[in-house]
Structure 1
Amino acid sequence: MIKVDNLSYSFPQKDLYTKISFTLEDGQHCAFIGSSGSGKSTLVDIIMDPERYMFDGKLEIEPNCRIGYVSQFSQLDKTKETTVFEYIGEEFIKLQHEIASICTEMETASDYDVLLEKYKQALDAFDAIGGDNFESNIDKKLHLANLNKKKNLMVSELSGGEFKLIQVIKEMLKDPDLMIMDEPEVFLDFENLNALKNLINSHKGILLVITHNRYLLNHCFNKIIHLENMELQEFDGRYIDYNLALLQSKIEAQELAIGDDNEIARNEIIIDKLRYITTYNSEASRGKALKARVKNQERLEARRIKAPFVEIKQPNIRLFNNHEIEESIALKVTDYSVSFDEILLENINFEIKSTDKVALIGSNGTGKTTLLREIFKNNQPSIEVNKDINMAYLSQLQSEMLNESQTILDEFFDVGFKTTDEITSYISNYGFDNEIINQKIESLSSGEKNILQLAKISASKANMLLLDEPTSHLDTYSQIALEKALKDYKGAILMVSHDYYFIVNCMDYVLIIEDKTIRKMTMRKFRKMIYANHFDRDYLEIEENKKSVETKIELALRDTNYELAKVLTEELEELIKLL
């Protein structure tokens, strides 16, 4: 269906791909993964509109290939006066009306042949997208996404997460040969994420999905395309198996690299000795021996292990707090209410201690972001913040906290850094190379913008963090780095998130919004609730054991204990079989 062969492409600021190749064929549900800013969305843009881009290499797409697309940036149009059914079936309904109109004209027209041709064309277009059964197909998809009760609602009444699912259904029902989705999971609540999983798994055509969501990665795909360090790797199989293969490659590569390093070091000593001898002895045989050794060294250097998928760029996220306070009440909310067209939250009461790490959860559209913003503004009598608390805020609306029209350099001068060298050194820990510090923030990927927000938050050295969907757009390696940073952080955290892997791994307890109010839930109860709804009985325990073994392997690699790493990998392989 699609073949990419030795494709290379560059921006003015940086190279994106170097001779990458892959294919997409019938029956493949492909996850497209890679570090933030590696060029995944750009590659999708090239596939969808190759005429706009000057690239080297070949891109072959079957003639008449119909591509469906769901963007990560799609927004709910609150002014759209149409029902959910009408919105999803828009193309079908339009063709139905066109066919009916032509039929009416044919009853009285003299130029019957022209109208007959138009009728055939409209009918062919209707058949090509499965028009005969479109109403029942809409019902099936809505049922699969648990949205059947929303069928006759106005689109403007949907939450953002529900609208995202409606867009996915709309594109799928057009029966495209290739369906592309760019981070469709962003900001979806637990129920909607599970609905997206069902939609993906029910789709019969080819799928190419950019995603960093671990739940979807573990449950939805039979092919992985991994873009990293300008190179691309294909893997036919599940993501969980790909991760194991990557870990095994890492063990092998590091073991071989140590052997190469030792051999290069030994050869260098011999070269130095031969150079010393030839300084005082000009015999031809000595010179030839030196040249032979130097050539051998060059071969060893060229052969040195090159593993772009082993050395994956992972930001070194560290969240500092230079003003720790003794355990006390950091935040107290009393009888807080908020309403727009209707009441969102009513008589909310809770408090957070100065060392609590708390996840604020609830369905899409229940007021989580509104509450977080109000706490950050701190100008409501019902919200009381300890005078010793200094808050920092990460917004899911990135332009709210970043001036996207200025450069990265200017952004950090505004934060309080004094020199370019100081900024360059600081943001290099977050994966930003020297050459892009003069780049406009608006040109960064969504994942890079979130990393930049985290870098600003860390520089503020606040002792309370308000984080609104901090893992959105982050690649899996950045998510793991952020998990560790939040665990190590010495201060209070209130975090809105729908990523329950993330919540379970680094939060103390949960505040859950239900029926316009908030109740506290222990992590044990939260796990039971989430995993009872979404996973098999033993899934959580196996996942935790798997994570523990992966951590042990990383520690073994750090200590260059490859025998232990290999034994642990076998243990990991057995756990993966259970999943």
Structure 2
Amino acid sequence: MIKVEHLSFSFPQKELYNDISFTLEEAQHCAFIGTSGSGKSTLIDILMDPESYLFDGKLEMDPDCTIGYVSQFPELDNTKETTVFEYIGERFIKVQNDIQSICTEMETSLDIEPLLEKYQLALDALEAMGGEDFESNIHKQLNLANLMKRRDSKVSDLSGGEFKLVQVMKEMLNRPDLMIMDEPDVFLDFENLNALKKLINSHKGMLLVVTHNRYLLNHCFNKIIHLENTEIQEFDGRYMEYNFSLLQTKIELQELAVAEHEEIERNETIINNLRAIATYNSEASRGRALKARVRFQERLEARRIKAPFVDIKQPKIRFGIDNEMEDSTVVSVNQYRVAFDELLLDNVNFEIKSTDKVAIIGANGTGKTTLLREIVKNNHDAIEINADAKVAYLSQLQGEVLKDSNTILEEFIDAGFKTYDEIRSYLSSYGFEGEMVSQKIESLSGGEKNMLQLAKVAASNANVLLLDEPTSHLDTYTQIALENAIKDYKGAILMISHDFYSVVNGMDYVLIIEDKTIRKMSMQKFKRMIYASHFDKDYLETEQKKKSVEMKIELALKDTNFELAKGLVDELEALIGLL
């Protein structure tokens, strides 16, 4: 068990945790969630290296506890000519080679006793690591992730998604007491995401995974730790069950809040009446009654319901347009071809109309980002952009669009705003408030940087949006806000995304990469293809029913119809059971 008790920690410009406590226990697979910038990665750093941080509170962890870690941004040393098998089994192969060297030395040595001792120590080390059958275990993991074909490939030849999976396998094979992964799903295509799901579910040890990916959240974890507004909340159960619990609490709190509001209003009316009487009747008893009522009103105000985990402030993303284009072609691609060391795309032809919302779908490393960048640059013979098109671009490489050395305010000076106050007012809708706008962009989390990109895209009022992995690093609340903004947008969108939910909830159709070219696929067919490979029968229909019931509950709460909301909750619980 790992135990955190009454932990508080702040940076000079921001309080991150205030008296938080939680535990991690053997065999728990825990999802660590929270809005962007809430301090998830910092808390992981504290767990991994508590001596480097000055915090209040207590962290109980066995001094011999081993921690495996998969970074949000894994870096590969391309100078090493290492195969996938050698990379994953590096520790075991080293000990195995040591054993082989000792055996070779024993064949010619006259003094064999110290060598026998070294040999036994090496065997003990291999056994302690669980290394007797490490080769078989590597093969099991590679098969599970559908990467056995890459066993003898050089690690430097892997796509980014494949390397992320290989890094996960390497850490899991070392059998740490606690395995920590910080957004391991970022930029993974759906096949690799499904492989990651299988690796997580096959792991026998304790897991702590920072993720905003709804597919993983719904299919991988038996505990949720939710960090929000300096506070933390634990939940033993699945993510869907946690959301259901939040919804039940929201109904209860809103019902209480309405009753409290009515009581406060009644008391305000009495106070106003007493004040009116006091203007022409100066009896001491009248004054005492007024003071008592005012004190009672202050107590009512003080105990108003506060719910940091229920009513999380969602950003208000809105993509406006300066110049709406009538039904016309805004992007035309004819006979596009791209190759680096090998041919990536050939004979690519498609058109995007002025109101089309289109997702480009394909495996990691198939040329999607290269194509989108070529459209942004608009200097390729095979690509034509309508003269009336105003294009805005969001990059998966945030440094392409944002300058790390800028403050947030400086980044928006050239974005069409006239005053600092205008920038501050605009950015507050995106969660950048107060002194935060004076922070350097380099100090922001990945999710905050992507939110800043979305704010720049929205401020452009462009009629064509080119979005490369816009949901990466975004928390689930912002992902849903982005989906709503996409639905309401009146222009054209071409979006690269591996996020299944964003694609099916916001796009009209997909352009799918197969056999080094691109073909159009209807949304209905795309859904069938994904569900046939990765979901149980009727999952889609059940999930759609669940979403419909959740919307009905939200409408009932807006109308303060709590009886209807409670009735719908029973229906929702039954659907969650099916999922």
TM-score over 0.5 for the pair: yes
AA paired with 1:525? K
8 Å CA contact retained: 1:338, 1:345? yes
Asked if 1:2 corresponds to 2:38, the answer is: no
1:295 is displaced (CA, Å) by: 3.7
1:348 is displaced (CA, Å) by: 1.0
Please show how residues 79-228 of structure 1 align to structure 2 within 5 Å: 79-104=79-104, 121-228=121-228
Partner of 1:550: 550
AA paired with 1:354? S
Deviations 1:75-112 (A, max 9, x none): 34444311000000011111222333445556777987
Partner of 1:436: 436
1:282 is displaced (CA, Å) by: 6.6
CA distance in 2, matches of 1:56, 1:102: 50
What is the DSSP-based 3-state SS (H/G/I as helix, E as strand, rest coil) of the residue aligned with 1:8? strand
CA distance in 2, matches of 1:116, 1:60: 40
Change (3 A) 1:83 1:488: same
Change (3 A) 1:513 1:113: same
Deviations 1:334-383 (A, max 9, x none): 11111100111112111111111100011111000000000100101110
Partner of 1:448: 448
Partner of 1:346: 346
What is the DSSP-based 3-state SS (H/G/I as helix, E as strand, rest coil) of the residue aligned with 1:320? coil
CA distance in 1, matches of 2:473, 2:387: 34
Asked if 1:526 corresponds to 2:522, the answer is: no
Partner of 2:336: 336
AA paired with 1:149? K
1:399 is displaced (CA, Å) by: 0.6
1:292 is displaced (CA, Å) by: 3.7
1:284 is displaced (CA, Å) by: 5.7
AA paired with 2:131? G
Partner of 2:56: 56
Partner of 1:246: 246
Please show how residues 421-500 of structure 1 align to structure 2 within 5 Å: 421-500=421-500
AA paired with 1:518? I
After TM superposition, the score normalised by the length of structure 1 is 0.96
Deviations 1:277-297 (A, max 9, x none): 667767665555444434433
AA paired with 1:441? I
Deviates more, 1:293-302 or 1:525-534: 293-302
What is the DSSP-based 3-state SS (H/G/I as helix, E as strand, rest coil) of the residue aligned with 2:344? strand
What is the DSSP-based 3-state SS (H/G/I as helix, E as strand, rest coil) of the residue aligned with 2:133? helix
1:276 is displaced (CA, Å) by: 5.7
AA paired with 1:495? M
CA distance in 1, matches of 2:314, 2:166: 34
CA distance in 1, matches of 2:80, 2:560: 60
Change (3 A) 1:260 1:122: farther
1:7 is displaced (CA, Å) by: 0.8
CA distance in 1, matches of 2:65, 2:111: 34
Deviates more, 1:564-573 or 1:261-270: 261-270
What is the DSSP-based 3-state SS (H/G/I as helix, E as strand, rest coil) of the residue aligned with 1:131? coil
Deviations 1:519-569 (A, max 9, x none): 110111101101111011100001111111111211222222222221221
Change (3 A) 1:110 1:559: farther
Change (3 A) 1:500 1:286: same
CA distance in 2, matches of 1:254, 1:119: 69
CA distance in 2, matches of 1:444, 1:111: 61
8 Å CA contact retained: 1:395, 1:468? yes
1:418 is displaced (CA, Å) by: 1.5
Change (3 A) 1:260 1:121: farther
What is the DSSP-based 3-state SS (H/G/I as helix, E as strand, rest coil) of the residue aligned with 1:30? strand
8 Å CA contact retained: 1:35, 1:313? no
CA distance in 1, matches of 2:32, 2:510: 32
Deviates more, 1:285-294 or 1:190-199: 285-294
AA paired with 1:452? L
Change (3 A) 1:458 1:161: same
What is the DSSP-based 3-state SS (H/G/I as helix, E as strand, rest coil) of the residue aligned with 1:143? helix
Change (3 A) 1:106 1:264: farther
CA distance in 1, matches of 2:288, 2:28: 56
1:48 is displaced (CA, Å) by: 0.5
Asked if 1:420 corresponds to 2:442, the answer is: no
What is the DSSP-based 3-state SS (H/G/I as helix, E as strand, rest coil) of the residue aligned with 1:146? coil
CA distance in 2, matches of 1:111, 1:62: 41
CA distance in 1, matches of 2:359, 2:214: 18
What is the DSSP-based 3-state SS (H/G/I as helix, E as strand, rest coil) of the residue aligned with 1:313? coil
Deviations 1:294-315 (A, max 9, x none): 4433332332211101121211
Partner of 1:301: 301
CA distance in 1, matches of 2:239, 2:325: 43
Partner of 2:235: 235
CA distance in 2, matches of 1:368, 1:578: 36
Deviates more, 1:289-298 or 1:534-543: 289-298
CA distance in 1, matches of 2:209, 2:132: 28
8 Å CA contact retained: 1:320, 1:461? yes
Please show how residues 343-422 of structure 1 align to structure 2 within 5 Å: 343-422=343-422
8 Å CA contact retained: 1:396, 1:470? yes
8 Å CA contact retained: 1:330, 1:389? yes
8 Å CA contact retained: 1:317, 1:481? yes
AA paired with 1:556? A
CA distance in 2, matches of 1:271, 1:122: 83
CA distance in 2, matches of 1:360, 1:407: 33
AA paired with 1:513? I
Change (3 A) 1:64 1:117: farther
8 Å CA contact retained: 1:402, 1:453? yes
Deviations 1:468-490 (A, max 9, x none): 00111111110000000001111
What is the DSSP-based 3-state SS (H/G/I as helix, E as strand, rest coil) of the residue aligned with 2:435? helix
CA distance in 2, matches of 1:496, 1:77: 28
8 Å CA contact retained: 1:2, 1:25? yes
What is the DSSP-based 3-state SS (H/G/I as helix, E as strand, rest coil) of the residue aligned with 2:86? helix
Deviations 1:247-288 (A, max 9, x none): 111111111011112222222333444456667767665555
AA paired with 1:563? E
8 Å CA contact retained: 1:76, 1:160? no
Q: Aligned residue pairs: how many?
A: 579
8 Å CA contact retained: 1:194, 1:534? yes
CA distance in 2, matches of 1:238, 1:320: 37
Change (3 A) 1:329 1:112: same
AA paired with 2:408? I
CA distance in 2, matches of 1:39, 1:110: 60
1:416 is displaced (CA, Å) by: 2.2
Gaps of 5+ in 1: none
CA distance in 1, matches of 2:76, 2:390: 34
CA distance in 2, matches of 1:249, 1:353: 44
8 Å CA contact retained: 1:129, 1:173? no
AA paired with 1:330? V
Change (3 A) 1:288 1:116: farther
Deviates more, 1:335-344 or 1:295-304: 295-304
Alpha-carbon RMSD: 1.9
Gaps of 5+ in 2: none
What is the DSSP-based 3-state SS (H/G/I as helix, E as strand, rest coil) of the residue aligned with 1:18? strand
Change (3 A) 1:99 1:522: same
What is the DSSP-based 3-state SS (H/G/I as helix, E as strand, rest coil) of the residue aligned with 2:438? coil
Deviates more, 1:148-157 or 1:124-133: 124-133
Deviates more, 1:368-377 or 1:125-134: 125-134
